[in-house]
Each structure stands twice: as C-alpha cells, then as structure tokens.
Amino acid sequence: MIASVAIALAARRFSARHQDGLAVMRSLGATQGTILKLVAIEFMLIATFASIAGVVLGLALHYVLMYFLAGLIPATLPAVSWAPGVAGLVTGWVLAFGFSVIPVMHLSRVPPLKALRRELDVAASRPWIAIGVGIVIWVGLLLLHTGNTTLALISAAGFIGAMLVCAAITWTILRLLAQLRHRLVSRPVLRFALAGLVNRRGMTVVQICALTLGIMIILLLGLLRTDLLAAWQNNLPPDAPNRFLINIQQDQKPALGQMFAKAGLGQPLLDPMVRGRLVRIGDKDVDPSAYESERTQRLAEREFNLSWLSQLPPSNRIASGRWLDPNAAEVSFEDDIAGQLGVKLNDQVTFDVAGELVTARVTSLRTVKWDSMQVNFFAILSPAVLQDKPATWITAFHLPEQQAAFTQDVVSQFPNITVFDVSGILRQLQTILDSVAAAVQFLFVFTLAAGVVVLSTAFLSTQDERMYEASLLRAMGATSRQLDQAQRSELIVIGVVSGTLAAAFAILIAQLLAVQVFDITLRTGIMPWISGIILGIIASWAGGKMALRAVKNTPPLLILRSAD
C-alpha cells in the first residue's frame, strides 16, 4: 500500500509536468484518444520495467533469506517456479493502473488553449475518486494473494485504520507547529522550515505516515525479538521448573525419589498421565471434520494427556462449576479447550483409553496459568475413573545449572525416561527468533524504503512550488546557506516526528501483546525512542536530500522568468 501511495504521487507529478507539452500536441491536432493511448503506453512501459526489476530483486532476496534461515530450513529446496514472478508482474501492472488511471485520463482532457495560456487552470480530477479506485484494486489484490476474504478485509481495515489514526495525530502535531511558527520571529530559518511543513499539510501527513509505518514495524520486531522474550523469562520465579521428566514407570518412583533426595532436590511431585482420545460429547460422537477451525480439528483427532488428581493444582483456578468428587465419575476441562470442542458444564464426555471407553460428567471448567512451568492438563478426571488404568508419571522441577549432570545420571539409570530441558529449549527458541526476526526485519526494510520513496516523491511533486518560494526568498536576500539550513531543519522535523510516532506505536503494540497474550509487564527503556528518531532522521534525509537539491541549486532568475 505504501508503494501505491508513491505511484499515486508520481502520477500526480507526471500529470502536472506534462500538461503544457500535451496541450501543444492537442493544438497540433492530436485527439483525446491519441493522448490517452500515448500516456497509457508510457505508464505501462514504466510499470513493466519496474515490475521486472522488482521480480529480479525478489529472486535475489530469496537467496539472502535462505542465508539467514540456513539452519531452520531443509538443505535442498524445490526449484524456483515462474508463478511468483508472474504474480509480481501482474501486481505491478494492476497497482500502476489502479493508482494512475485517474490522472492519466485527466491528462487526455487538457485543452489546446493551455499551450498559449500557461496560467489556465485545468479542471482537476476529484482526488477521492482516484483514492477510491486505488483502494478497491488494492483490496482486490489482497483477496487474490491471501485467498481468504476475512483475512484480506481485516488486513485492509487494520492498515487503513492505522493510517487514519497516524494522520489524525500528525495533523494535530502540524497544527501545534503552525502556532509555534508565529513565535519564531528571531529564527527565520526554522520558521521557513516549519512553513514548508505546515503550508503543505496534506503532503506532510502522507510523508510522516509512510515513514512511521516502516520504522514502526522494524522497531516492533526488535522489541518482540529481544525485550518481550526477556521480560517473560524475567517474570518467571527464580525457582520455576526448568526440567521435565516424562514416561516414569510406577516401579521407578521410589528409586527416582532417592536420586532426587541424594542430589538435594527434595522429593519430586509426580503426576499420573494416561493417554486417551475424546470420542463422544453427550450423545454425539466427536467428528473432527465437523469443526471449522483447523486447530480444533487437530485437537479432536489427537490423544489427550489425561490425569487424575484429588486436589486442584496450584496454577489452576475454577472458572465455573465445582472441583471433582474423588469417588465419582467426573472430569474438569481447561476452559479454552472446552470452548473450542463445544464441551459444557454437566455434559457427559467419553474417552477411549487403550481401547476401553471411560465416561465422566463435566463438573468444572478451569483457567490454567500455562507460563507457571508446572505440569498442567487439558482434562483432569477424578481418581475413581482413571487410577486403575495403565499410566506413566511426569514431574517438573528446578535444576540449578551447576547440577546439569543430574539429568544425565537419571537417563543413565532409567533409559526409558525422557528429559525436556526447558532452558535449552528457550535458548534454541531465542536462536530461532533471532534468525527469523532478522530475516523478517530485512524484508521490512523494504517497507521503510517504500516510505522513503513516498517521502521523495512527495517532495518532487511540490518541487516547482518550492523552487518558486526559494527564488522569492533569495531575491529578497536569503542566502543559499539559509535555504540549505531550512531544508535540513524540515527533514529533521519530519524524521523526529516519524521516529517518535513509530516508537510510540511499536511500544504500545508490544505492551498490548505483553499484557493480553503473555500477562507480563514489558519495560522497554529509552532505546526504542532513540532508535526510532535516528531511523526517522536517516530515512527522511535519504528521501529528501536528493529531491530538494534542485530547489537550492536552480538560479532564482530562471524560475521567476518561467513563472511569468
């Protein structure tokens, strides 16, 4: 979508600069149809070359991503097909058509009289029509690429909503800067810089929002990659379990307890575990294909790890109903899983346990604190139902790093026992996150690059106006150094505002994820703000410096004569 904004701005610039030349062609006899064909062919050639360049760049990035993810993907991948390249070409053509068709059609209506009267205003096309056509085509491309109507509409609504919020905030900031400008009587350079932003608020809003989105995504990925996982780990108690032992047999429990005591780890808390598949809810057999969600279908197909307990585990809380009667045929379900499977209080559910059907009544639904690192179960039955069934045992415990060899001793004495090293898994997860996040951040650098292109295109679209203003200022005594300082100040303000907004949005989204998903408090510090502002200034400088060079270097007399 950011690239589409650049296309729309470039089309507007193209339309403004070609009106005089096309008016001459009209005065020499060219028809509207001829003009329309000529301009359309030129645009499609540009779109074709740009799309081919994009496809080639995408192919190169494919190999760069393979380098980033070398340890996470198979050594050999299928050969690259032509389908993505064709899709890229079509996408480029469609976007070029959608966001330039209105300005192109507008050019065909340039009157021949404009060749003699340059000041003649040409009836402008309605911008909302161009925006509407472009958005409809963009949403259509989303539908085509995602293949999911709901996902495409949610993505489109989310993007448009985010841009509207960013635009509203930016507009408010510009109003404050407009008030500040009038107080800078003694700072003409900064006053002129703010005037350039405030007098072209629409373009400034587009520039800042485009940069904000690109910087925000990069900062957000950085926060998720480092701060969020670190905050979750720091939120765990110091003695939180970091090892799991599973597949413990009944006759191994005493010897295992002695090993724990000898190592000074206390007696392990062993929980029984029985494998069983849910086959009936009430009077209806469970049919995995009847569920809409693929995740629920997989849940219905797989076997559950069941357990029997007399007391509610510490990391569980009754959400509705009551706890189990140890002597009755009862079961307690985790609340979220029950909702997905359609299990309700007082339902009779049946499990297939090693070929034997076990039926129990649902007496409670539980919420589970999964990040407690304790042993938890989706379904817990009363002892009267399961304690005579074949079972293995599981335990979770905290093992100090200096005693890491203890698990090797356990496996040596009990080869059937499986050890899960949570610390090792977290280290591996961090490695995977680092690789994936680096690859994704690399991809989203192009989102930032698209924002830089929008910034540059917006500056180019107002270049003539800026050159005229600069010529007037130089005619009234302003030096090239003052104009250069004003340009730098304008770019710095755009960069600072974009970076600050990007950091604020990234931290807000990361905090929402931390609280709503991980139930932790995220402390981000000052680095996201500093990084955002630095990225914003660099991106603004990269996009604006070249585009504004002609404003300073063009002789003012040439501009003033051409304006006459």
Cα 427 to Cα 202: distance, rounded to the nearest angstrom: 48
pLDDT average, residue stretch 9-19? 72
d(C-alpha 155, C-alpha 480), whole Å: 46
Please provide the size of the chain in residues.
Answer: 564
Q: What type of residue is 6? A: A
Instruction: Give the Cα separation of 463 and 16 in Å (integer).
Output: 11
Which residue is it, tokens 């755009």?
A: 494
Determine the Cα–Cα distance for residues 112 and 106; give it in Å rounded to an integer. 14
In this prediction, residue 500 carries a pLDDT of: 93
pLDDT at residue 560 is higher than 60: no
- DSSP 8-state secondary structure symbol assigned to residue 367: E
Model confidence over 129-181: pLDDT tens digits? Answer: 666 777 777 778 777 766 677 767 777 777 788 888 888 999 999 888 888 87
324: pLDDT confidence band, cut at 50, 70 and 90?
Answer: very high
Q: Output the pLDDT for position 496.
A: 92
Report the pLDDT value the prediction gives residue 554, as an integer from 0 to 100. Answer: 61
Q: Which of 130, 92, 100, 89 is nearest to 10 (CA)?
A: 100
* Residues 266-297: tens digit of each pLDDT: 888 899 999 999 999 988 999 998 898 888 89
**pLDDT at residue number 534:** 92
The yes-or-no verdict on residue 385 having pLDDT over 80 is yes
Which residues face 392 on adjacent strands?
273
Tokens representing residue 299 in the block: 């849940």
Query: Has residue 359 got a pLDDT over 80?
Result: yes
Please, where are the H alpha helices in 269-314?
294-301
Q: What is the average pLDDT score of the chain?
A: 80
Neighbours of 375 (CB within 10 A): 20
Check residue 458 and give its pLDDT: 74
Q: For the chain, give the percent of residues with pLDDT over 70.
A: 83
Residue 1 has pLDDT above 60, yes or no: yes
CA–CA dist 266, 562 (Å, integer): 90
* Higher pLDDT pick, 421 / 21: 421
In this predicted structure, what is the pLDDT of residue 517? 67
In this predicted structure, what is the pLDDT of residue 343?
A: 92
Q: What is the pLDDT of residue 232?
A: 65
SS3 of 1, please?
coil
pLDDT of residue 497: 92
Between the alpha carbon of residue 30 and those of residues 23, 112, 249, the distances in Å are 9, 9, 91
Specify the higher pLDDT residue, 42 or 336: 336
Rounded Cα distance, 9 and 454, in Å: 8
Q: What is the dihedral of CA 87, 92, 93, 96, to 10 degrees?
A: 160
User: pLDDT digit string (tens) for 436-458?
Assistant: 767 776 777 777 777 777 777 77
Question: Once rounded to an integer, what is the mean pLDDT over residues 528-543?
Answer: 88
- What type of residue sits at position 334? E
User: CA-CA distance, 507 to 501, in Å (whole number)?
Assistant: 10
What is the separation, in whole angstroms, between the first and last Cα of the chain? Answer: 39
List of residues 6+ apart from 226 with CB closer than 8 A: none
pLDDT tier at 58, thresholds 50, 70, 90: confident
Contacts of 342 (CB under 8 A, 6+ apart): 281
Phi then psi dihedrals of residue 111, to 5 deg:
-75, 145
Instruction: Give the residue from 1, 294, 43 showing the smallest Cα distance to 139.
Output: 1
* pLDDT tens, position by position, 397-430: 988 888 888 988 999 999 999 998 887 777 776 6
Task: Based on DSSP, count helices (H) and strands (E) in the chain, helices before strands.
Answer: 18, 11
Give percent of the chain above pLDDT 90.
23
**CA-to-CA dists, residue 542 to 215, 222, 501, angstroms:** 14, 22, 19
Would the pLDDT of 75 be above 60? Answer: no
CA dist 134 → 96, 104, 277 (Å): 9, 13, 51
- The backbone region for 346, taken as left when phi is positive above 0, alpha when psi lies in -120 to 50, beta otherwise, is left
Q: Where are the domains of the chain?
A: 1-147, 166-238+422-564, 243-397
pLDDT of amino acid 128: 61
Question: What secondary structure does DSSP assign to 227-262, as a single string?
Answer: IIHHHHHHHS-TT---EEEEEE-GGGHHHHHHHHHH
